[in-house]
Amino acid sequence: MESQRSDFTATSTLPFLSEFKKFPEVTDIMELYFNEFLRNTDNKLRLAPAILIGALSELLVVTLIKEAGDFLEDPNAVSSYKQKKGASRIDYTITLLQKTKQRIQQKRNDLQPKEEQCFKKAVDIMKHMFDSIRLNRNEYAHPEPAMSLLELPEPEIFLAHASAFNTYAKSLLELIYLIKHV
């Protein structure tokens, strides 16, 4: 089961953690999940990284929904999200963000181009990454009896996930920051 590639080491993921810590609105628990994801990636584990990155992704999205709900004065935003299943969760999130964006526009009579881009980028990247991360996490956290070792990702896959995840996390965290500071 040992990977034949050995071109990544325990220091390979260190820049990802350093970058992640610099993003706005990173909490201690977010940092802990990301750090443990990276440590498991460095140790070439195959299940824990998928589960940890999936949990962190969910935490980021729920935090975004909470901030949008608070801004919209909707105390049920998070519980409404959690009642949704599958693709309807991302649809709900996008609709909530559209309402948030409209409310900010009404409040200020306009959005700055940078703010407009922040909403667009977060929605675009969420559409492409959220379900992929969630489905992988669910698959490995809830295995089927027929699952085989051949179906599990090679450890190096998570090194690529670490790089892509920072782009995803940064876009969501920047939007959280924007909404909090309107």
Comparing CA positions, the residue from 180, 174, 169 lying closest to residue 66 is 180
* Cα 5 from chain centroid (whole Å): 28
Among the residue ranges 37-46, 64-73, 94-103, 145-154, the one predicted with the least confidence is 145-154
Q: Could you give the number of structural domains in the chain?
A: 1
Q: Which residues contact 108 (CB under 8 A, 6 or more apart)?
A: 182
Question: What are the pLDDT digits (tens) for 10-24?
Answer: 557 889 999 999 999
Question: What are the pLDDT digits (tens) for 49-88?
Answer: 888 988 999 999 999 999 999 999 999 999 999 999 877 9
Helix/strand/coil for 182: coil
- Select the highest-mean-pLDDT range: 88-102, 118-132, 153-167: 88-102
DSSP 153: P
pLDDT above 50: residue 1: no
**Which residues form the domain of 115?**
14-141+153-180
Q: How large is the average pLDDT for residues 133-157?
A: 80
Position 11 scores a pLDDT of 57
Q: Is residue 47 part of a domain?
A: yes
Q: Is residue 120 part of a domain?
A: yes
pLDDT above 80: residue 136: no
Kindly report whether the global pTM for this prediction surpasses the value 0.85: yes
Position 59 scores a pLDDT of 96
Q: Is residue 5 part of a domain?
A: no
Q: Is residue 54 part of a domain?
A: yes
